[in-house]
Amino acid sequence: MPKLFPSRQEFVDLRNGEQVVVTKVTIVSSADFVSIPTALDASILQSAKATADPTFYLTGRDTVFNIDGATVGDELIVTSRHTGMLNFDKGDSA
């Protein structure tokens, strides 16, 4: 299960103590994962209405977002919700 690294990330401060992080990743195998520290929940934005989305779920103490059944080479957009201050320059990178 290979670890995916974001090709792009955007952060949105909801100004209520929550942030939403939008992370773009490219699938490299049929079972990949993205590390999303401090995530409360996460989801994949549906790429097309006529296609089936891969299975995804959060696990682990360090919040691992697992993606199963995606097509190799597909680019996915993962959204995650966080509370408190995020400091991605100190190693809390998604």
Q: What CATH class does 8-86 carry?
A: mainly beta
Predicted model pTM: 0.81
Enumerate the domain spans of the chain: 8-86
- What are the residues whose beta carbons fall under 8 Å from the beta carbon of 81, sequence distance 6 or more? 18, 19, 20, 21, 39, 40, 41, 42
pLDDT of amino acid 25: 94
pLDDT reported for residue 94: 44
The per-residue pLDDT string of the chain (94 residues; one tens digit each, 9 = 90 and over) reads 789 999 999 999 888 889 999 999 999 999 999 999 889 999 998 766 667 778 999 998 778 999 999 989 999 999 999 987 555 444 444 4
Residue 18 contacts residue 81 (beta carbons within 8 Å): yes
C-alpha closest to that of 80 among 50, 56, 61: 56
